[in-house]
Structure 1
Amino acid sequence: MTKLVVRRLLYMIPTMFAISVVTFLIIQLPPGDFLSTYIAELASRGDAVDTRLVDALRERYGLDQPIYVQYWQWISNIVLHGDFGDSFQYRRPVSDLIWGRLGLTIALAIATLLVSWAIAFPIGVYSAVRQHSFGDYAFTFIGFLGLATPNFLLALIFVWISFRYFGQSVGGLFSPEYVDAAWNLGKVIDLVAHLWIPVLIIGTAGTAALIRVLRANLLDELRKPYVTTARAKGLPEWRIILKYPVRTAVGPFISTVGWLLPSLVGGEVLVSVVIGLDTTGPLLLDALISQDMYLAGSFILILATLTVIGTLVSDLLLAWWDPRIRHAQG
């Protein structure tokens, strides 16, 4: 197991380097830069453009340097100093803008992941064991609805229902009195009280996908000869299902951590805009629209890092859960 962990961690080094290069190239793809967008915005409003100020900003942020110099300056500051650079739009360090919202985003993602698993596991097992029953068809129908309905549309439906029938506004993660308050027990309780709606909205598609994955895998296991043999020996049905088929079928279920975690963080962008969440989503969207290079690049790098971390976690969980994988990889 130790060799597996060390090997996976070593693989992450070249992977993260390649990701950082691709990330920087992606944010350089659109023509122009933030200052070009800024000048165009001033010109559209009829405001005067101070060329000396623009040139000073271009020199300050190194936008007049070759792309490889800009990349090296950006990535070396991140690795050596934890400095993600300055946001052009907000004129503040990127780290100050990110960390406050990133904590709320990760809390939302983890809560959504846990709720998705808690809902998907029993439903997936039930749908496989009671195949072609009314409950199986009902959950399948609801699952397809969850997969087909965009999260932002579901958010709009929640907003309308809440306002139309309950006279309440679904927006934000805190009540007005806790928005600027210091963290305390009351603020945590208020966060939990507001968290369930975005959790349901963002986790709908992921929960539906997990149900389908677990149901398909468990159906395949239930048809194998060892299950028939166990039934012939007179073992209780619940023990037959939970001890062997479920244990094997949960493997691919665990592996979904690798793609589910970043998809939860990335999938909350439009939902956050619709219901006004103070997470990373609206900030990322503004950074991409305004070509705020360092802010957008930092977000993309963080999402890619979450993908790598999610894959590492899923690999380690699979190795811990299934001795065959641990033996093969060790």
Structure 2
Amino acid sequence: MVRFLFVRLLQSVITLLGVTFLSFLIIKMAPGDYLDQLRLNPQISPETIELLKKQYGLDKPLSVQYLKWLKSAITFDLGYSFQYHAPVLELIKERIGNTLLLTLSSAIISWFFALTLGFLAGFREGTWIDRLIKAYAYTFMSFPSFFLAFILLLIVSKTGILPVGGMHSAGFERMSLSERTLDLLKHMVVPVLTLSLVSTASMVRLVRSSVIEVLSSPMVLFLKAKGLPKKVMIKHVFKNVMNPFTTLIGYEIAGLLSGAALIEIIVGWPGLGTLMLDAVLSQDLFLVMGGLYIGTIMLLLGNLIADILLAVLDPRIRERELISK
């Protein structure tokens, strides 16, 4: 297990280096930078701009700039934001909790309903329940998340049953703890519902097909012939279905994070998505790189957790991976 974890960690480090270097290269290849915007301000002298370039190392070759940034990023010193005039890490800390609130809530809801509906459809294959669940899966898989968010926002604005956009209502600071909690939950409905509906739809099909495959296996057919209690059979099917489902967790975390960034922008949720959009539009180099760095680490951790769970559930996976190395 130790060697398995070491191999996975090494792969994660290589991936992180590759992602950050390519991102840094693409950002630097884009025409102009934040300091070019300062040159349009007649109150800022060219000498001041040159001083800022030297201070932040922007006058150095590309490779030197990246290595300098990487050396600081290892200790989570992500630099200073030109736009917000604040340390990048502090800005990310302020927003990352809001993003995780959406993604974790959506993940729990999605995985619960994906397993529930997938098992129900698999055990009732060919019935009206199965057809209804498949109709839901095909419908919402074809829905772009941003379009679904717009539809939900339109319904909310027309009915007035929920607040439209944002994270808090006016006067949030003066509310009691219970009122604040209720207000936050109301604002979470649209973004969490959007992410959950789309994510659940994609996972239901996998769970359903896995359940049907396991139910058709010789082992389960033998257990049925022996008159095994249904409760024990469901437990056996569940254990075998969890392998492909666990593999999907890493990809779903990536999908939820990228989807959450887009939904945050649409509904005005103050998370990493809106922060990164502002950073890209203003060409705030260190803020863009800091956001990508933290986001990539979160994705790699999600995939690492999925790999560990898969290895725990099925030791054959771990042994096969180590033999191939």
The 10-residue stretch of structure 1 (64-73 or 1-10) with the greater mean CA deviation from structure 2: 1-10
| One-letter amino acid matched to 1:155 | A
State the TM-score, normalized to the length of structure 1.
Answer: 0.88
Shift in CA distance, 183/281, structure 1 to aligned 2, threshold 3 Å: farther
How far apart are 1:3 and its partner, in Å? 3.4
Within the candidate set 136, 151, 154, 1:157 is matched to 151
Stretches of structure 2 lacking an aligned partner (at least 5 in a row): none
Question: Does residue 54 of structure 1 match 2:49?
Answer: yes
Matches within 5 A, 1:96-135: 96-135=90-129
Give the match for residue 36 of structure 2.
36
Residues 167 and 188 in structure 2, CA contact (< 8 A), matched pair in contact too: yes
List runs of 5+ in structure 1 lacking aligned partners. Answer: none
Cα distance in 2, alignment partners of residues 189 and 317 from structure 1? 34
Deviation, 1:119, is 0.9
Structure-to-structure mapping, 1:81-230, within 5 angstroms: 82-166=76-160, 168-178=162-172, 187-188=180-181, 190-230=183-223
Whole-Å separation in 1 of the counterparts to 2:179 and 2:160: 24
| Structure 2 counterpart of 1:294 | 286
* Structure 2 equivalent of residue 250 of structure 1: 242
How far, CA to CA, are the matches of 2:38 and 2:54 in structure 1?
15
2: CA distance, partners of 1:166 / 1:172: 15
Determine helix, strand or coil for the equivalent of 2:113: helix
The question of whether the paired residues in 2 share the 8 Å contact of 1:158 and 1:170 is answered with no
The answer to whether residue 319 in structure 2 is matched with residue 324 in structure 1 is no
Q: Is the 8 A contact 1:37 1:291 kept in 2?
A: no
Instruction: Point out the more displaced range, 151-160 or 121-130.
Output: 151-160
**Higher mean C-alpha deviation, range 167-176 or range 208-217:** 167-176
Deviations 1:161-193 (A, max 9, x none): 112123643222223333x68996764554344
- Counterpart of 2:59 in structure 1 is 64
TM-score (norm 2): 0.90
* Cα distance change, pair 292–230 in 1 and its aligned pair in 2 (3 A): same
The structural deviation recorded for 1:99 is 0.7
Distance 1:5 1:184 in 2: 42
- Report what 1:231 is aligned to: 224
Deviates more, 1:9-18 or 1:26-35: 9-18
| 1:277 Cα deviation after fit | 0.5
Where does residue 19 of structure 1 map in the other structure? 19
Distance in 1, matches of 2:122 and 2:37, equals 54
Q: Is the 1:159–1:169 contact (alpha carbons within 8 Å) kept by the matching residues of 2?
A: no
TM-aligned CA deviation for residue 67 of structure 1? 0.7
Q: How far apart, CA to CA, are the structure 2 residues paired with 1:289 and 1:267?
A: 19
Contact 1:270 1:281 (C-alpha < 8 Å) held by counterparts: yes
SS of match in other structure, 1:194: helix
SS at the partner of 2:221?
helix
The CA deviation string for residues 4-38 of structure 1, in whole angstroms up to 9 with x for no partner, is: 23332344333333333223223223122222355
Q: Distance in 2 between matches of 1:32 and 1:295?
A: 16
SS of the residue 2:171 aligns to: helix
Distance 1:10 1:188, change over 3 A: farther
SS at match of 1:90: coil
Indicate conservation of the 8 Å contact 1:111/1:199, yes or no. Answer: yes
Amino acid at match of 2:250: G
Partner of 1:77 in structure 2?
72
AA of the residue aligned to 1:76? K
Paired residues for 1:237-276 under 5 Å: 237-240=230-233, 242-276=234-268
Percent of aligned pairs with the same amino acid? 31
Residues 243 and 160 of structure 1: is their aligned pair in 2 closer, same or farther, counting only changes over 3 Å? Answer: same
Distance in 1 (CA, whole Å) between partners of 2:25 and 2:308 is 31
Residue 328 of structure 1 deviates from its aligned partner by 4.0
Tell me the number of residue pairs that the alignment of Structure 1 and Structure 2 aligns: 322
**Contact persistence 1:266–1:303 (CA under 8 A):** no
Rounded to whole Å, the distance in 2 between the matches of 1:18 and 1:321 is 30
Residues in 2 aligned to 1:286 and 1:3: alpha-carbon distance in whole angstroms? 42
Cα RMSD of the aligned pairs, angstroms, is 2.5
- In structure 2, relative to structure 1, the CA distance for the partners of 1:321 and 1:188 (3 Å cut) is farther
